[in-house]
């Protein structure tokens, strides 16, 4: 039977080729060092797990409203107010099965066949495929290391066309770790503020920012910016809750939130009631675990950055957020998939090739792994390149 063209048109995950091979090697007892992790290597904090256990014991095991419980949506509003300085009401919030689900729903809700969505490259692997699944076309706008991989206003202006529906901003970024300053966001707003364009602002790494820098949400720039922005966030990265699957959307556009509610009503229904209780605890009873994790990531980032800088033929823009180093390996091999395959075969180090992020010649190294692994992995890479 012929399968749906919508689905067969999706590219397989570029990260999987290497990570599944690395996993298979590990299973065979081979000593593989993996820089592939897309999630914190810390356990979910105890107070969050306790809340989930209490939810099960307390019978919170039934359907909830498909867009999330009133309590969780209120806790999200409170967090948006206290951390981002933004006022939202419960009706502006939709809780989904992870930020990935939130993003998927947004493109389904805002895009028509033939619309265009601007995506700065390097980009997170799923953006392009989600946009394609909605019937719209991804329009990739390149950035470069000299600009810290940040979208410049003039490049954005050139990419905007009558069919442009939205632009995706991801600060801090996966894979580059770049963080947009308020000024940089303002220059982007200047280009689009009079246009009927949405800003899909993926802020999932907002709490993992280093060097004493802060996070600016695009929505906080002005009333107009808030009106244009659809915030995407979740608990996965901040609270080490990747498996719990809780993400959310905040938007002042009630037509949009209503249509996403309808979509969830008839597709996923509510995210797990137990995970919602856990996320409620995460947001409303936060302890010092986030700050501790951030400190550890910053230490690892500093070490990794220094080591990469000392390896001939590799270079890297210092990541200011998230937990990835995006390394230019083009002086070794412009085909980073081939680079990654050889590295894994020769010295058993797994890295993610840049092709899936729209950046061939680059490799992504996650520092969401122990310092010991980072040291050993970089030693192996250095020795391998010298040979
Ligand atoms: C940039 C970015 N956005 C969204 C997500 C999805 O997060 P969630 O686990 O909440 O679906 C990820 C996860 O890797 C990510 O890196």
Q: Residue with structure tokens 């709490």?
A: 207
Calculate how far, in angstroms, residue 100's C-alpha sits from the geometric centre of ligand 1.
Answer: 6
pLDDT in tens, 134-143: 999 999 999 9
Mutate to test the pocket of ligand 1, among 124, 172, 233 (most ligand atoms within 8 A of CB): 124
Mutate to test the pocket of ligand 1, among 119, 200, 236, 319 (most ligand atoms within 8 A of CB): 236
The atom number, within ligand 1, closest to the CA of 173 reads 1
Percent of the chain at pLDDT above 70? 100
pLDDT of 13 higher than 80: no
Mean pLDDT of 304-315: 97
Calculate how far, in angstroms, residue 385's C-alpha sits from the geometric centre of ligand 1.
Answer: 32
Report residue 14's pLDDT band, with 50, 70 and 90 as the boundaries: low
The atom number, within ligand 1, closest to the CA of 38 reads 14
Mean pLDDT of 66-70: 98
Calculate how far, in angstroms, residue 1's C-alpha sits from the geometric centre of ligand 1.
Answer: 33
Mean pLDDT of 376-383: 98
The atom number, within ligand 1, closest to the CA of 102 reads 11
Longest alpha-carbon distance in the chain: 61
Calculate how far, in angstroms, residue 99's C-alpha sits from the geometric centre of ligand 1.
Answer: 6
Report residue 65's pLDDT band, with 50, 70 and 90 as the boundaries: very high
The atom number, within ligand 1, closest to the CA of 39 reads 14
pLDDT of 382 higher than 90: yes
Calculate how far, in angstroms, residue 377's C-alpha sits from the geometric centre of ligand 1.
Answer: 25
Q: What is the pLDDT of residue 255?
A: 98
Q: What is the mean pLDDT of the chain?
A: 96
The atom number, within ligand 1, closest to the CA of 124 reads 1
Mutate to test the pocket of ligand 1, among 99, 168, 324 (most ligand atoms within 8 A of CB): 99
21: tokens are 């091979």
* Nearest alpha-carbon partner for 357 in 142, 152, 196, 147: 142
Nearest CA to ligand 1 atom 14: 38
Calculate how far, in angstroms, residue 235's C-alpha sits from the geometric centre of ligand 1.
Answer: 10
Three-state SS at 231: strand
Calculate how far, in angstroms, residue 236's C-alpha sits from the geometric centre of ligand 1.
Answer: 7
pLDDT in tens, 215-242: 999 999 999 999 999 999 999 999 999 9
d(CA 159, CA 140): 9
Calculate how far, in angstroms, residue 310's C-alpha sits from the geometric centre of ligand 1.
Answer: 31
d(CA 204, CA 174): 10
Calculate how far, in angstroms, residue 313's C-alpha sits from the geometric centre of ligand 1.
Answer: 30
Mean pLDDT of 347-368: 97
Nearest CA to ligand 1 atom 1: 174
Rounded to a whole number of angstroms, the distance between the first and last alpha carbons of the chain is 51
Calculate how far, in angstroms, residue 312's C-alpha sits from the geometric centre of ligand 1.
Answer: 32
Q: What is the pLDDT of residue 277?
A: 98
Q: What is the pLDDT of residue 75?
A: 98
Report residue 60's pLDDT band, with 50, 70 and 90 as the boundaries: very high
Extract the runs of DSSP E, i.e. beta strands, from the chain.
33-34, 93-96, 116-121, 137-142, 164-170, 198-202, 229-234, 247-250, 315-316, 324-328, 349-350, 352-353, 362-366
Q: What is the pLDDT of residue 10?
A: 87
pLDDT in tens, 147-194: 999 999 999 999 999 999 999 999 999 999 999 999 999 999 999 999
Percent of the chain at pLDDT above 90? 94
Ligand 1 binding pocket (C-beta < 6 A) is: 38, 98-100, 124, 170, 174, 202, 204, 234, 236, 242, 247
Domains of the chain, each with CATH number or no CATH: 5-44+289-386 (3.90.1150.10), 46-284 (3.40.640.10)
């Amino acid at each position: 039977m012929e399968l749906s063209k919508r689905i067969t048109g999706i590219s397989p995950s570029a990260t999987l080729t290497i990570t599944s091979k690395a996993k298979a090697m590990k299973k065979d007892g081979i000593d593989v060092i993996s820089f592939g992790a897309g999630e914190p290597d810390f356990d979910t904090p105890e107070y969050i797990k306790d809340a989930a256990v209490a939810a099960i014991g307390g019978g919170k095991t039934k359907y909830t409203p498909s867009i999330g419980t009133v309590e969780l949506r209120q806790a999200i509003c409170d967090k948006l107010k206290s951390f981002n300085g933004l006022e939202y009401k419960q009706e502006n919030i939709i809780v989904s099965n992870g930020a990935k689900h939130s993003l998927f729903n947004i493109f389904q809700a805002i895009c028509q066949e033939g619309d265009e969505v601007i995506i700065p490259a390097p980009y997170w692997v799923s953006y392009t495929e989600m946009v394609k699944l909605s019937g719209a076309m991804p329009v990739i706008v390149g950035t470069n290391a000299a600009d810290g991989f940040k979208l410049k206003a003039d490049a954005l202006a050139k990419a905007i066309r009558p069919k442009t529906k939205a632009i995706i901003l991801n600060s801090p970024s996966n894979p580059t770790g770049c963080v947009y300053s308020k000024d940089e966001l303002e220059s982007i707003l200047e280009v689009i503020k009079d246009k009927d364009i949405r800003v899909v602002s993926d802020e999932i790494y907002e709490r993992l920012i280093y060097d004493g820098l802060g996070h600016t949400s695009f929505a906080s720039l002005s009333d107009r910016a808030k009106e244009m922005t659809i915030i995407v966030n979740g608990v996965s990265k901040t609270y080490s809750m990747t498996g719990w699957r809780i993400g959310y959307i905040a938007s002042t556009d009630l037509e949009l939130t209503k249509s996403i509610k309808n979509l969830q009503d008839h597709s996923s229904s509510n995210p797990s009631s137990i995970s919602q209780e856990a996320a409620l605890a995460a947001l409303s009873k936060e302890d010092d675990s986030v700050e501790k994790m951030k400190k550890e990531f910053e230490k690892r980032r500093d070490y990794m950055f220094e080591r990469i800088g000392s390896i001939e033929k590799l270079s890297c823009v210092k990541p200011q957020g998230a937990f990835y180093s995006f390394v230019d390996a083009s002086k070794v091999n412009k085909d980073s998939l081939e680079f990654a395959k050889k590295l894994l075969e020769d010295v058993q180090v797994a890295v993610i090739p840049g092709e899936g992020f729209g950046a061939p010649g680059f490799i992504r190294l996650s520092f969401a792994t122990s310092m010991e692994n980072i040291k050993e992995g970089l030693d192996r890479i250095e020795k391998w390149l010298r040979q």
